[in-house]
Amino acid sequence: MGTVVSLTVASSTYAPTAVDELESAVAVVEQIFAELDVTFSLYREGSEASRLGRGELTLAYASEAMQERYAEAAHWRLATDGAFTAERPDGILDLSGIIKAHAVREAALSLSALGLQDWCLNAGGDVLVSGTPEPAPASAPETREPWIAGIVDPADRQALLSAYPLGKLKALATSGSAERGEHIWGVGTARPEFVQVSVAAQDIVTADVLATAIVAGGTRTLDLAVDRWGVDVLAVGRDGTLLATPGFRTAA
């Protein structure tokens, strides 16, 4: 998917004899991302997504996986009043705005099935966590500290703009033009007013979709996201100004 995927597991949870389990977890995550990339990547000439883009295949005859992700993207388009869309301005179906988060979601299910409880999965800025980085003794569960996710400053990629504790909200996604250039099209003909948006939510798909939607839809979509989904948002304007919900202001 053109990005780096990392899996961090709380070391105090596992003995050296659990190396095989951790290697299995890494293999499962790699397999999930690789298989989805083969189907959904527009950079692979032979992928199903590329065949759809060239008109060699229609959605009606596409795989069940493709149809399911399209249906999910269509749902989010309606929910965000069109701010999130899977159709590029040239008419090509592009599900990249949801497929990476879907891969993280699927990987999380596999990690849970393997019995892993305390981990952090980061796929190019889409972060999902479970448990804590340093599990506390069972006798003192209230001392468990949450995972902390750093947010890169769009004006200085070597610096952090903020950090967010992933406690109640377990997912954090960041979208914008600072790293990959202008790849998100705004609603209508308007140029996006935010260069970067980070969203913390209960699940990674909601976080990722809304981060992209807010970049595309601006302040109106930001207000909608906070009111409808109860997420935390940190948005960076083109002039460097910040808009932050109380959760981010407290974290900062």
66 neighbors 60 (Cβ within 8 angstroms): no
The Cα–Cα gap between 164 and 250 comes to 9
Domain positions in the chain are: 5-251
pTM metric for this prediction? 0.90
> What fold characterizes domain 5-251?
T-fold (3.10.520)
**Amino acid identity of 86?**
A
78, 98, 89, 115: which is closest to 36 by C-alpha? 98
Q: Which two tokens stand for residue 222?
A: 């930001």
Q: What is the phi/psi pair of residue 234, to 5°?
A: -125, 115
pLDDT at 17: 46
Query: What is the tens place of the pLDDT at every residue in 97-123?
Result: 899 999 999 999 999 998 888 999 999
pLDDT at 135: 62
**Could you write out the DSSP letters of every residue in 114-157?**
TT--SEEEEETTEEEEES-SSPPPTT-GGGPPPEEEEEEETTEE
233 neighbors 244 (Cβ within 8 angstroms): yes
The Cα–Cα gap between 176 and 71 comes to 24
237, 178, 174, 185: which is closest to 216 by C-alpha? 185
pLDDT at 22: 85
Task: Collect the ranges in the chain with pLDDT lower than 50.
Answer: 17
Query: What is the tens place of the pLDDT at every residue in 201-247?
Result: 999 999 999 999 999 999 999 999 999 999 999 999 999 999 999 98
Residues contacting 208, CB < 8 A, separation 6+: 97, 98, 100, 101, 126, 173, 175, 199
Instruction: Let me know the angle formed at the C-alpha of 196 by 129 and 230, rounded to the nearest 5 degrees.
Output: 55
